[in-house]
């Protein structure tokens, strides 16, 4: 199996005809590549994007069956509107959208921007769509969950007393992994066949890094993009592998190269903090309180 993983690429995608997928943040970068690969394999792909104009322009570059729907993960009203408008089955949800090391800010609901967008928006979206989901949820995390000091600051989730862009980003990416862990526990307990998985792209050159708050950080990232990064097509492979491979729930996929910066998709490890089941349960409870969205009473295939 390890040999198959090391050689896996888009040419190994199975036929996805008749399946429906939602990809958040699909108008550029890894999200666009992911949407394109899924549509190219036969799936009907919904590009869930904040800017519908940019989304339509992106969809026009793809082959296959696609549509564009508005979704602003930094606005829970938008998340609820998107989910309320969903009809019919959904096979795959790819929680890809995110912001990275941006200046201090708040979402429309008053949450710190990175925690609110990267975690809480996807938390609410996933739970609201779960009654429709038949196969799996893939949430895109990051190696940043391992950064020194990475933690869920339960006493200060909005980082009002200790904000810096790196701390906020690592908290949100750690939250993605804890969310996946607890979501899988709940799905298993409910007897659902739906699987929750996570993936990270390694170091992929996308426009995500261009929004970093610090000019120095942006310059360093641009230099790193030129020297070390893989392109967005390679960066999307872990997400795609998690989306279609027969993997256990709660699996985490990333590049198999040195430092998980680049390479072919493979199962990778996570930090002890990202494996803390008690922290995952606590984060879930807090997230329900903050969003007003809970794990649904009925999910696909529940007992």
Query: Which residues are designated catalytic?
Result: 169
The strand pairing partners of 230, in sequence order, are 204
3-state secondary structure of 265: strand
d(CA 186, CA 56): 36
Q: Please give the radius of gyration of the chain, using alpha carbons only, rounded to the nearest integer.
A: 18
Q: Which residue has 């701390």 as its token pair? A: 167
DSSP state of 130: G
Long-range contact set of residues 230-234: C-beta below 8 Å, sequence gap at least 24: 230/202, 230/203, 230/204, 230/205, 230/255, 230/261, 230/262, 230/263, 231/204, 231/205, 232/29, 232/30, 232/32, 232/33, 232/204, 232/205, 232/206, 233/10, 233/33, 234/202, 234/204, 234/262
Judge whether 289 and 28 are in contact, CB under 8 Å. no
- Positive or negative, the Cα torsion across 279, 75, 253, 183? positive
Judge whether 150 and 144 are in contact, CB under 8 Å. yes
DSSP state of 43: -
d(CA 118, CA 121): 6
CA atoms within 13 A on the CB side of 205: 11
């Amino acid at each position: 199996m390890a040999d198959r993983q090391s050689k896996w690429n888009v040419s190994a995608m199975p036929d996805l005809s008749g399946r429906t997928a939602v990809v958040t943040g699909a108008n550029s970068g890894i999200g666009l590549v992911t949407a394109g690969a899924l549509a190219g394999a036969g799936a009907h792909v919904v590009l869930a994007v904040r800017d519908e104009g940019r989304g339509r322009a992106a969809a026009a570059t793809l082959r296959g069956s696609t549509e564009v729907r508005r979704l602003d993960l930094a606005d829970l009203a938008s998340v609820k509107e998107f989910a309320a408008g969903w009809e019919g089955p959904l096979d795959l949800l790819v929680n890809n959208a995110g912001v990275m090391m941006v200046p201090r800010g708040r979402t429309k609901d008053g949450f710190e921007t990175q925690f609110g967008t990267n975690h809480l928006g996807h938390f609410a979206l996933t739970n609201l769509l779960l009654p429709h989901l038949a196969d799996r949820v893939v949430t895109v995390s990051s190696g940043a969950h391992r950064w020194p000091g990475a933690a869920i600051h339960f006493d200060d989730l909005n980082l009002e007393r200790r904000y810096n862009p790196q701390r906020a980003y690592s908290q949100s990416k750690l939250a993605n992994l804890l969310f996946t862990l607890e979501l899988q526990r709940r799905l298993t307990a409910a007897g659902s066949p739906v699987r929750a998985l996570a993936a990270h792209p390694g170091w992929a050159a996308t426009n995500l890094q261009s929004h970093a708050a610090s000019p120095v950080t942006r310059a360093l990232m641009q230099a790193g993009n030129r020297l070390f990064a893989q392109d967005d097509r390679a960066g999307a492979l872990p997400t795609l592998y998690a989306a279609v491979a027969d993997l256990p729930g709660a699996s985490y996929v990333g590049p198999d190269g040195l430092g998980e910066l680049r390479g072919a998709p493979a199962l990778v490890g996570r930090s002890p903090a990202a494996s803390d089941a008690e922290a995952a349960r606590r984060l879930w409870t807090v997230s329900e309180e903050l969003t007003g969205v809970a794990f649904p009473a009925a999910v696909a295939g529940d007992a």
